[in-house]
Amino acid sequence: MVKFVEVEHKFCFNDKQSFEKTESAIIQLHPLQDYEIDVAERYFLVEGLNHFIIRHKVDEEKQSLTLKSFDIGEDSETRMEIDIPLAQEQGDLLQEVEKFIAAFNTYKEYKLTKHLKVFHFAEAEVILYQANSQDKEVFALEIESTKAYKNQALKHIKEFELQLGLDERLREKRCLFELLFAS
């Protein structure tokens, strides 16, 4: 189990063309590593579990169950996460996760898929993704700092924003769950 505070800035794009233009700008910054991956995520809002949401995440390489701090309408720049890696060799453990969550209380389940383009840098991870729910689609960029302290993290995030020509005033403050599923 890993507990950490995630510091990130998210920017959404109105169209795929702007998304692809940003990808070219990221590549010009010479990432240390980059890759693409498809991810399936299920989010669980558990009755009585205030200020948190649970995410089950599966891709071809790993699987995890994560407790994330969450409040509708709050800025998602800094969030606490507790991540529990799950055994990938046993396949998708969604049914077991649902049994675990059902033991607590009534819950609502939400499903999304993401196609990620991940770029690793020494100071941050820059992620471009297309996320889809049943009836919505989001094109977004997230800059997540690898620094342990919030002030250091924000400094590096702001440097990437400047290099990519992003205006912090246009930063999306809602988390992905809220963008896809909140009314």
Q: Could you list the mean pLDDT of each consecutive 10-residue stretch along the chain, which spans 183 residues?
A: 83 86 95 98 93 94 93 92 86 84 89 98 95 96 88 94 95 96 80
CA 93 to each of CA 2, 77, 130, 182: distance values in angstroms, whole numbers, following the listed order: 19, 29, 24, 26
The Cα 133–Cα 156 span in angstroms is 31
In the chain, how many H helices and how many E strands?
A: 4, 8
Tokens describing residue 150: 């919030």
* The pLDDT of residue 183: 62
**Predicted local distance difference test score (pLDDT) of residue 102:** 86
How far is C-alpha 41 from the geometric centre of its chain's CA atoms? Answer: 10
**Number of independent structural domains in the chain:** 1
Distance, C-alpha 59 to centroid of its chain: 14
Q: Which pLDDT belongs to residue 177? A: 96
Between CA 116 and CA 103 the distance in angstroms is 32
Domain region containing 38? 2-181
pTM: 0.90
CA dist 9 → 46, 69, 87, 149 (Å): 26, 16, 30, 15
Closest CA to 60 of 15, 13, 114: 114
CATH of the domain at 172: 2.40.320.10
Q: 147: how many CB neighbours lie within 10 A of its CB?
A: 16
pLDDT value, residue 101: 87
